[in-house]
Chain A
Amino acid sequence: MPELSRRNLLGLSGLAAIAPLTSAFGSNKGTATASASADARERIRKRYFPDLTLLTQDNRRVHFYQDLVKNKIVLLNFFYAHCEGICPTVTHNLVNVQKLLGERMGRDIFINSITLKPAEDTPTVLKEYAREHGIRPGWTLLTGNPDEVELLRRSLGFTDPDPLVDRDKSSHIGNIRYGSEPLMQWTALPGMTHAESIAKAISRDFPAAKG
């Protein structure tokens, strides 16, 4: 048996303790605000960003939260290399977004595209896809253990409420989720809208830090 603490075991088995009724809001506004922010950020991490190990197009192992999301402004989407539906358009848009965001790409803004077909889309396949489309550093293509990739897809909300539609990869969600992890601000855009609009919206919502 692995050395899991009893609390972890309870959590894993879904037998979370019934939430105690917490007491009223803390008195010191300043520190209460700061620690409440830290709590919220941690809750978001636990709920939406499992720290799964994925493989990049360069065959590097990365941890999803620690390496790709934490402290960053990120764009997240799902695709697969041989998708002939919306993916060519969305990828093309993101290539232009990458150009339009200029120096910020790879500095404070990052794109992460995760495959829906991890068994087919090995790092080699992803590398070829990147080369073909002109994907430059700052934009990572990701694959991994299919079960974990599926968990990630669901955690990030790229699902359809109809299970039949959801199982069909060709009808996969084409939105681009974007946000700032440290600011805890997240929203999404259709991936098929114009690249200029996507880039403008990101710059508007998450302007470069001054100084």
Chain B
Amino acid sequence: MYFNVFGEKVSRARYREMLNAATNRRELIAARFDRRELIRMGLVTAAGSLVSMKGLSARAQQFQQGPSNLCGTPQLPANQPASPPTRAFIRPLPILPLAQPVKALNPAPTVAPNTAAGESRTRPHQALTLFPPQKFFNVFQRQILHSFSPDLPTQAVWGFDDSNGHASTPAPLYVFRYGVPVLVRNHNALPPDPQVGGFGKPEVSTHLHNAHTPSESDGFPGDFFPSGHFYDQHYPMQLAGVLSTHKDSGGDINEALSFLWFHDHRVNFTSQNTYKGLVGMCLFFNEFDTGDEHTGFHLPSFPDFDIPMAFSDKVFDQDGKLFFDLFNLDGILGDRFTVNGEIQPFLQVKPRRYRLRLVNTGPSRFYEFFLTDPNNLNGVNPYFVIADDGNLLPKPVKVASARIGVAERVDIIVDFRQFAGKSIFLENRLSQLNGQGPLIAQQCGIPEVMPAGQGNFLLRFDVDSTPVADDSADPEDMKFYELPSIVEPRITRTLKFDRLNGQWSINGQFVDPTFEAPRIRVGLNTVENWILSNITGNWTHPIHIHFEEHQILARNDVPPSLAIEHSRKDVTELRPNSRARLFFRFRDFHGRYPMHCHNLIHEDHAMMLRWDIDPEGGDSRLVP
């Protein structure tokens, strides 16, 4: 017995006809199907043209007109619905409030997990008594109301509340100092299932990217915990080497970190929870990067002239609510560009040097930042990069642009004196059509880097004309830390990233999302080289390894050509068919850590592995 889609009996011959006809869209339109059937199926309009059904993801109509190659003619990112229109440069850049510490935590933090009180930690603090916390935060991750734009409804998203009157997304800003250990008590106060907004899972594990943190406080993807519980995270605020190579000097000063961010890391739901608002930033100061331009490295003073900025490209649904494409395996490209949670803000600045700390919080897009003068589009407006992935370089590098993938950071110094009385834009000129990465654009005859003014305007700087004092140093004269010396590794491992039928693999193995066992055991306080190789085809991946910063020894067997890559990094971008040799140390603390692609969508579809630091020594698996 055969039926058509309406439950009406049809002959076997008719059924076969229907099946055969559907293989060719032309035949479909040429009424092998009854026109009524086509309209009822929602495949054809009354006017006769093929459209997708209302409300279907745009992916269903992606290849409607059958482009023969990848390039098609998308006006929008190919796999997303279009957000409602919003005006640009209507409101100022949100300056995030400072997270306020509390005098004490009750119950007081303990080395062993305080399970009876509702703490979900499973492993003891390995360094709590060595580096007793002096600063305490009592933070609640909860639902908050947020406005992305005056043209969109205020809506419920997720954010951080410091329990001292500051709640926001991105979170209230953490400002930490080396030598002042911190304990953050993270409460999960998210509404339990089911969720408003249709994405996210209310279980969290917060990762401070990329601090020198003991494993049990690092926000391991498997260490997530549910609503109504808390998890104490201990940040010793010590330089790498403090318990090992540089015991006598309190750690290696050349390993100082400056600009970090933090985000949810719950396995399989990282992209959703982070996109929903569980992101924040963190500044590390010390005796050199002081926050006061009169001292140390004389970097522009915080907070007036030192501005952290979190970039995230978002999509909004037709009702103006934040939209996350749940069934996307490739990478989500937003069409609304937010900075610190506001779509295309402006920022009033004085005509002097500023330090701008830029972090790409994803979900998938690559950004290349240019300064664009609308009255001089052909001009090049260089600036100085002073830090890569939040690590101050040996010295500033003058560039016309800087490119970052998800989770990478770049600190820049812009001297606005040259633009006094004018407005200039921070513009992303990197073109990207889908989650594979920017290189594909080149194959489609679209330049990888768009001409000035044709990219995405992220932010408008409105520069005051009244001269002001500037006691920060000239970047031409600045020097920061030295790169830690390279030594011979105990072992060199190879990690090949591949893709088979849409599934990510590492060295041919598909990833275990339950992290039962480590793929790699490295010895505590040893040195290794990891060669990361990208053979996934046309995909570019920003690969992140937790714990210590690494150095890129070589890209495709030669030292990196980009000056800013002669630095310490924690995310290394791998373009198609390329490899990078990375130098690692694993000092002071032990336990489990992940390595993963930081395109949040890839991460959630298991492009990740667990590796451990073992005090007993490392294994010898060259191809783990």
Contact = CB atoms under 8 A, between A and B. Distances in A.
B46 A9 contact: yes
A134 interface: no
A86 B583 CA distance: 36
A81 B516 CA distance: 33
Contacts of A16: 54, 318
Contact of B195 (A11, A47, A154, A183): A183
A160 B435 CA distance: 11
Nearest to A152: B60
B198 A44 contact: yes
Interface string B310-328: 0000000111100001111
Given A118-B19, A171-B501, A193-B511, A36 B326 contact: no
Contact of B326 (A8, A37, A50, A186): A186
A151 B60 contact: yes
Given A4-B39, A154-B60, A175 B502 contact: yes
A197 interface: yes
B196 interface: yes
Given A145-B22, A185-B201, A190-B505, A24 B154 contact: yes
B512 A163 contact: no
B556 interface: no
B326 A48 contact: yes
Interface in B502-522: 502-505, 510-514, 516
A193 B513 contact: yes
Interface string A160-198: 111110100001111101010011111111111110010
A25 B143 CA distance: 13
Contacts of B67: 163
Given A9-B46, A40-B195, A157 B327 contact: yes
B468 interface: no
Given A23-B153, A46-B54, A192-B503, A148 B5 contact: yes
A48 B57 contact: yes
Given A12-B51, A13-B46, A184-B198, A190 B511 contact: yes
B326 A44 contact: yes
B538 interface: yes
Contacts of B47: 13
Contacts of A187: 268-269, 604-605
B565 interface: no
Nearest to B323: A43
B156 interface: yes
Interface string A6-21: 0011011110101101
A190 B605 contact: yes
A169 to B, nearest CB: 11
Contact of B53 (A145, A151, A164, A201): A151
A52 to B, nearest CB: 7
A154 B42 CA distance: 15
Contacts of A118: 19
Contact of A50 (B1, B56, B194, B199): B56
B326 A190 contact: no
A183 B194 CA distance: 5
Contact of B503 (A12, A36, A175): A175
B244 interface: no
A200 interface: yes
Contacts of B512: 193-194, 197
B13 interface: no
Contact of A163 (B70, B195, B513): B70
Contacts of B36: 1-2
A210 interface: no
A128 interface: no
A208 interface: no
A86 B18 contact: no
Nearest to A179: B326
A192 B45 CA distance: 41
A37 B195 contact: yes
A161 B53 contact: no
Nearest to A198: B513
A86 B45 contact: no
Interface in B186-227: 191, 193-201
B513 A155 contact: no
B377 interface: no
Contacts of A174: 500-503
A19 B84 contact: yes
B22 A173 contact: no
Contacts of B482: none
B201 A205 contact: yes
B622 interface: no
A188 B502 CA distance: 11
B160 to A, nearest CB: 19
B67 to A, nearest CB: 6
Given A177-B327, A190-B605, A194-B512, A119 B23 contact: yes
A96 interface: no
A16 B63 CA distance: 20
B339 interface: no
Contact of B514 (A160, A173, A175, A201): A201
A98 interface: no
B498 to A, nearest CB: 11
A84 interface: no
A204 B5 CA distance: 38
B513 A201 contact: yes
A25 B155 contact: yes
A155 B605 contact: no
A124 to B, nearest CB: 13
A46 B368 CA distance: 36
A28 interface: no
Contacts of B39: 1-2, 4, 12
Interface in A126-174: 145-148, 150-151, 154-164, 166, 171-174
A34 B83 CA distance: 24
* Closest 8 pairs between A and B when the two form their complex, measured CB to CB: A157-B327, A40-B198, A11-B54, A46-B55, A174-B501, A190-B503, A173-B502, A147-B22
Interface of B: 1, 3, 5, 7, 18-20, 22-23, 28, 36, 39-43, 45-47, 51-57, 59-60, 62-63, 66-70, 78-79, 84, 145, 151-156, 191, 193-201, 268-269, 317-320, 325-330, 434-436, 500-505, 510-514, 516, 538, 604-606
Given A2-B39, A53-B5, 5 more contacts: A14-B54, A36-B197, A154-B56, A191-B501, A193-B512
Interface of A: 1-2, 4, 8-9, 11-14, 16, 18-19, 21-25, 33, 36-37, 40-41, 43-44, 46-48, 50, 52-53, 59, 61, 85-86, 118-119, 145-148, 150-151, 154-164, 166, 171-175, 177, 179, 182-194, 197, 200-201, 204-205
14 contacts: A9-B46, A14-B51, A16-B54, A19-B84, A36-B156, A48-B57, A48-B326, A119-B19, A119-B20, A155-B57, A162-B70, A164-B69, A164-B70, A191-B501
